[in-house]
Amino acid sequence: MRNGLTDQEHNREFITFLQVHLFGLLAFIDRPNHNEHFPMASGVVIESEVGYVLLTVAHYLEDLRRWKEQERLNALFLLVHHESGICNPIPLNLEDTPASFSDLLDVGFMALNDAVVAEIRKGGGIATRRDTLSMSPQSMKSFYLVGHASAYCKIVRETIATSREDSMETAWKLVRPGDMAVAISKLQFDGNGSDPGTFRFALINGFDDYSGASGGPIFGYAEGSLIRDHSLFAIQSKQIRGATSNQKPTHLIATSAAVAIHVIDDYLQKITNSPD
């Protein structure tokens, strides 16, 4: 038993901790290509020096900007997970939710207004504490990634209208994502990545596809630490597939969460202190 809990209770508490600290972005795109059917990303909410922000990957925010400029962004939702397992989508308006991303690191953020923060609390989501940030992999016993797994999400098709002409019947269907699949993976630290501020992790019994998990938080677990004190260590950026025929992912690349927050704080301070 750990801290008076059975192993089963401890595992349930740990999964709940990861679940409620996971957030996501889900976009609905007009005229989608094969990579744009309900594109998703993961993220974590943390308090910056000027308010709450959603920390996620730059490449997804760059896509959002492009879809908006092309007038193809139909809708955008923030995904919030309740401890009961219910996923609550909160509609986001990019005009009210300013976003920015780094040109050097694969990290970016969306500034969340008070109304969105209130909906997050109502939906059961929990912001990650800044004092849990860690840059020391040597102090961690193990690491876990939690993220959305878009490849495993169910697609729901609902018939919303039908018409009949002679013997021909036509049906109009609404296609939308159903249950939001969540991936929790145990990782092994495998050194620094090739880019500054990044780390490389080996997958332990990993999934076949981590699409949608980009931006997902990686928490470190120190020996004897309480679950509430697990350290936010990195933000997952990309998957590296093996050279075998099935090309199953073998490693993940992630950006240091502490470095990402420093970059965001520095950017927000410059904006806040700008005379313009």
- CA-angle at 73, arms to 72 and 74, nearest 5°: 105
Token digits of residue 226: 């309480």
**CA-closest candidate to residue 103, choices 59, 142, 69:** 59
- Which residue is associated with the tokens 């005229």? 31
**CA-closest candidate to residue 204, choices 134, 144, 247:** 144
Question: Which one is predicted more confidently, 191 or 132?
Answer: 191
pLDDT in tens, 35-47: 777 899 999 999 8
pLDDT of residue 20: 94
The CA distance from 267 to 265, in Å, is 5
pLDDT in tens, 68-119: 999 999 989 999 999 998 888 999 998 888 888 888 899 999 999 999 999 9
Q: What pTM does this model have? A: 0.86
pLDDT of residue 233: 93
70 CB contacts (<8 Å, ≥6 apart)?
A: none
On the question of pLDDT at 25 being above 50, the answer is yes
Per-residue three-class SS string for 115-147: HHHHHHHHHCCCCECHHHCCCCHHHCCEEEEEE
The count of residues in the chain is 276
On the question of pLDDT at 270 being above 80, the answer is no
**153 falls in which pLDDT band (50, 70, 90)?**
confident
Query: Where along the chain do its domains lie?
Result: 7-151+178-273
pLDDT of residue 1: 41
On the question of pLDDT at 27 being above 60, the answer is yes
Q: H/E element holding 258?
A: helix 257-273
Fold (CATH) for 7-151+178-273: Thrombin, subunit H (2.40.10)
Mean pLDDT, the chain, integer: 85
The CA distance from 43 to 33, in Å, is 24
- Which residue is associated with the tokens 């209208």? 161
Q: What share of the chain in percent tops pLDDT 70?
A: 86
The CA distance from 188 to 176, in Å, is 35
135 CB contacts (<8 Å, ≥6 apart)?
A: 233, 256, 258, 259
